[in-house]
A = this chain, B = another copy of it.
Amino acid sequence: MKSKRKTTIKDIANVLKITPSAVSRALNDNPRISDKTKEAVKKVALELEYQPNQLASALRSGKSNLVGVIVPKTNSYFFSTVVESIENELNKEGYNVIITQSNESYKKECRNIQTLLQTQVDGIIASLANETVDFSHYEKIKSKGIPLILYDRGENDIGVDYIGIDDYESSHLVVEHLVEQGCKRIAHLAGLSQARIYKNRIRGYVDALEKHNLPLDTDLIKESNLTLEDGRKKTKELLRLPNRPDAIYAAGDYAALGALQILQENNIKVPEEIALVGFSNEPFTSLIKPTITTISQHNKKIGKLVAKQFLKRVNDKNWKPVLTKTILKAELIIRDSSKKI
């Protein structure tokens, strides 16, 4: 027969004929408690299979040791590895991670925040849904006084810590590479320009063209939600242009895949006739034929930095939200889809 009720510090106290407070302090390694008592307490705790009630502890101390992570989509290699890395880092420090997904929906994102705040998380780590253009729901987090860290999809206006890659620079890497391969008419399947990261990729693309003395043809920029389907659609449009591009740079791997499908369906050789570059280094980019050139965002490192930043904030009493940015240099992974030479 298993023990009915859970053991509490009271039970331990009873066994040892000391008070619950002494037990509590002993378990928390309070310097005022003698080593002898500490040992005894820990031994009994083990024997009684004592499991601290985090709720009670959280209630009293005001710390839940829970961190909420909001992910646009767990079903993405990038996000799932970032989260994994955040988890690893925070678990070490005794924090547990609650993952919620917004599914790229603004409404769900609001609900997520509401939920996390109700759960009394000690902080929130978030990446914005594509839909999100209004940020007032994030003010709630700030006004609660708990740390808020944004990653990948951030926004200056929220004025908090942000960790991500240099999207502007990434576009330069891509364009430079394509120019080296001899491309002259580089199209861009751009992300929704409302989001900062996609805006930066577009800026980078435009500036890089100029840098390499290539004319800017706005017909070659197609704004897209970067899904596979939309990638197909926008690529079809590109192919209908009187003057076809000789390279396509998609701001997302799925859109790149859509493009690849259309090109292959039209018997256009990749990379010989049209070179192709994606973004994010989703696993499939290295799995298909041809393998797709793409940008790696240092997933693990981002997660680690995010976690570290959170820890820094949460351990810093009287800290105020402030805009900081940690920008990582992205890495261009050159594969077959763009190797003309």
Report which A residues bind B (CB closer than 8 A): 2, 6, 51-56, 58-59, 64, 66, 73-77, 80-81, 83-84, 87, 91, 96-101, 103, 111, 115, 117-120, 143-144, 228, 257, 261, 264, 284, 287-289
Inter-chain CA distance A143–B4, complex, in Å, is 9
Is the beta-carbon distance between B289 and A289 smaller than 8 angstroms? Answer: yes
Residue of B nearest to A99 (CB): B99
Copies of this protein, total: 2
Is the beta-carbon distance between A117 and B51 smaller than 8 angstroms? Answer: yes
Cβ-neighbour of A59 out of B52, B56, B99, B101 (below 8 A): B56
Report the minimum CB–CB distance from A171 to chain B (whole Å). 25
The 15 listed contacts between A and B (C-beta, < 8 Å) are A54-B119, A55-B58, A74-B75, A75-B80, A84-B101, A87-B100, A87-B101, A96-B98, A96-B115, A96-B118, A96-B119, A99-B99, A284-B284, A287-B288, A289-B289
Cβ-neighbour of A103 out of B77, B84, B284 (below 8 A): B84
Is the beta-carbon distance between A120 and B54 smaller than 8 angstroms? Answer: yes
A103 proximity list for chain B (CB < 8 A): 84
Inter-chain CA distance A98–B66, complex, in Å, is 10
Cβ-neighbour of A66 out of B53, B87, B119, B257 (below 8 A): B119
Report the minimum CB–CB distance from A299 to chain B (whole Å). 11
Inter-chain CA distance A101–B87, complex, in Å, is 9
Cβ-neighbour of A53 out of B59, B73, B76, B83 (below 8 A): B59
Inter-chain CA distance A59–B59, complex, in Å, is 8
Given A56-B59, A87-B100, output 5 extra A-B contacts at Cβ < 8 Å. A55-B120, A87-B101, A96-B115, A97-B100, A284-B287
Inter-chain CA distance A101–B81, complex, in Å, is 11
Inter-chain CA distance A97–B97, complex, in Å, is 11
Inter-chain CA distance A29–B64, complex, in Å, is 28
Residue of B nearest to A115 (CB): B96
Inter-chain CA distance A98–B97, complex, in Å, is 8
Inter-chain CA distance A159–B312, complex, in Å, is 44
Cβ-neighbour of A118 out of B52, B228, B284 (below 8 A): B52
Residue of B nearest to A77 (CB): B75
Inter-chain CA distance A264–B288, complex, in Å, is 11
A64, A80, A117 pick with most chain B CB within 10 angstroms: A80
Is the beta-carbon distance between A74 and B64 smaller than 8 angstroms? Answer: no
A75 proximity list for chain B (CB < 8 A): 74-77, 80-81
Is the beta-carbon distance between B111 and A51 smaller than 8 angstroms? Answer: no
Is the beta-carbon distance between A59 and B51 smaller than 8 angstroms? Answer: no
